[in-house]
Amino acid sequence: VFQTHEEDDRKVRRREKNRVAAQRSRKKQTQKADKLHEEYESLEQENTSLKREIGKLTDEMKHLSQVLKDHEKICPLLHCTMNFVTVPRPDALASCLPR
């Protein structure tokens, strides 16, 4: 089967066009993978930062819970026999406030 010069040219142009399209497709895939990798790195950093913040907040909550627990032992408002009164005495309240 003999091909004409015109058919050969068409085949060459089609191969070239296909090669360029394949290059473009590979480049696009690479860019997409790079973008996903950058997003992954960013999310990993954010996750690490949030875990650190959770740790700090947990420590603060434990500390404040202990402070409250210690305060409850000495708070006159909690030991008052009339703690059903809705209006606290100003002198008793003042002794509970931090100085």
pTM over 0.75, yes/no: no
Specify the pLDDT at position 76. Answer: 84
Q: What is the pLDDT of residue 77?
A: 84
pLDDT at 21: 98
The reported pLDDT for the residue numbered 96 is 61
pLDDT means per 10 residues in the chain (99 residues)?
A: 84 97 98 98 98 98 97 84 56 60
Q: What is the 3-state secondary structure (H, E, C) of the chain?
A: CCCCHHHHHHHHHHHHHHHHHHHHHHHHHHHHHHHHHHHHHHHHHHHHHHHHHHHHHHHHHHHHHHHHHHHHHHCHHHHCCCCCCCCCCHHHHHHHCCC
